[in-house]
Amino acid sequence: MKTSLPWWLRDFLLLSGFVAVLIGLSYGLEAIPIAGIAYYNRILVIMGINITLAVSLNIINGHAGQFSLGHAGFMAIGAYFSAYLTYYHFAPRLDKMPAGTGQFVMQNVYLVIAVLAGGLLAALAGYLVGLPSLRLRGDYLAIVTLGFGEIIRVLILNIDTIGAARGFSGIPHWSNFFWVFLVAGLTIVISWRLVQSSVGRAFLAVREDQIAAEAMGVDTTKYKVKAFVIGSFMAGVAGGLYAHYMMYLNPQMFMFVKSFEVVAMVVLGGLGSISGSVVAAVILTFLPEGLRSVKDYMPGGRDPRMVIYSIMLIVLMLTRPQGLFGRRELWQIFGRRKKTDVTPDAGDANGKVNGDAAPPIQ
């Protein structure tokens, strides 16, 4: 007789296995005797942060059907606030502790607290911005969120405690491959579970037809604000991890171009596709770095990688405007291909496939 594990035990076992794999990869990557392994590890970490940003923005732009251009602002709030906590409060306390296992454990505890606090402040900002502005739609909402991102950046430029225009340096290097990809994995799982829930179905209803959703009793403003808060929280967490990996923050890192980069990842992967956002984040993080070698073959050593990068995006959007996966997930695409491998025989008037009657049309 088949017995299934309770959901909480199943999720705990899966999480434990995922954590064990990440720990093994974290130590294994650093031990690989390859020249420049630190550079490749850095690219992987930035890739993990971009995955979190893309999947979180996909909740707003893809599942809820809104158009936000303020993700860099939420990332900046999480980055600066978490860095402020560790630099002024947590790091001085940690320095007073004797070196050893206790200090290592407390370092990670402080990192989690700081990153979550940065995410919560970003979520609060998302709520305060979203509540009045999410009654707007389309381009109007995009302009409001873009303006919000610029307001955050200008405010940071005038706060001397966190470095103002000169930047915030001396941030502890507490983030690493393990924490970045643990958060990326949790973001993917949360996004997937959210879409399968009643809240996610309300998001999809708002995306497909807001007027019809309102007619069916869905509080569209409430669910749009909820999507905004969840997405901004995850962006703030990603910003906190970014700050504690780079060890330096500057307001120029969070200009509107950063928001456009994340939007490009979501659109490239397919609006509403979680796995599409992951694949697009991997491609668009690796592509600028992979094209660095092109300048060696150019006269005068010119660097055309951003031109090539832009042309490739334009070609892809012209040939496949719905993105790589559209609104489907990676496993759905492969599953559909397997089902279409067997096609009916055109010469069989009864519509039989390999001797079996064709199923009736639903």
Within the chain, where are the H helices?
A: 7-31, 37-58, 71-85, 91-95, 101-133, 138-157, 177-196, 198-208, 210-215, 220-246, 256-269, 274-290, 305-319, 330-339
- Could you give the CA distance from residue 238 to residue 38 in angstroms, rounded to a whole number? 21
Query: Which DSSP string do the residues of 41-93 spell out, in sequence order?
Result: HHHHHHHHHHHHHHHHHHIIIIIS------HHHHHHHHHHHHHHHIIIIIHHH
**CB distance 188 to 55 below 8 Å:** yes
Q: Determine the pLDDT at residue 353.
A: 42
Domain ranges of the chain: 36-268
Instruction: List the structure tokens of 275.
Output: 């796995």
* Distance, CA of 82 to CA of 239 (rounded, Å): 8
Nearest to 283 by CA among 43, 40, 28, 91: 43
Alpha-carbon dihedral 210, 225, 185, 309, rounded to 10 degrees: 70
Distance CA 195, CA 274 (A): 10
Give me the pLDDT at residue 311, please: 84
- pLDDT at site 30: 79
Measured in Å, how far apart are the chain's first and last C-alpha atoms?
Answer: 34
Q: Determine the pLDDT at residue 337.
A: 58
Residue 164: which residues within 8 A CB-CB, separation 6 or more?
156, 157, 158
Tokens read off for 129: 């911005």
Each residue's pLDDT, cut to its tens digit, for the chain (362 residues) gives 455 778 888 888 999 999 999 999 988 887 888 878 888 899 999 999 999 999 999 999 999 988 889 999 999 999 999 999 999 999 999 999 888 889 999 999 999 999 999 999 999 999 988 787 767 777 888 888 899 999 999 999 999 999 999 999 999 999 999 999 999 999 999 999 999 999 999 999 999 888 899 898 888 888 988 999 999 999 999 999 999 999 999 999 999 889 989 999 999 899 999 999 999 999 989 888 877 777 777 666 666 777 777 787 788 878 888 888 888 887 777 766 555 554 444 444 444 444 444 444 33
CB-based contacts of 313-320 (< 8 A; 24+ apart in sequence): 313/264, 313/268, 316/268, 317/267, 317/268
Residue 351 falls in which region: left (phi positive, over 0), alpha (psi -120 to 50) or beta: left
DSSP state of 160: G
- Coil/strand/helix, residue 272: coil
Q: What is the pLDDT at residue 220? A: 87
What confidence score (pLDDT) does residue 349 get?
A: 43
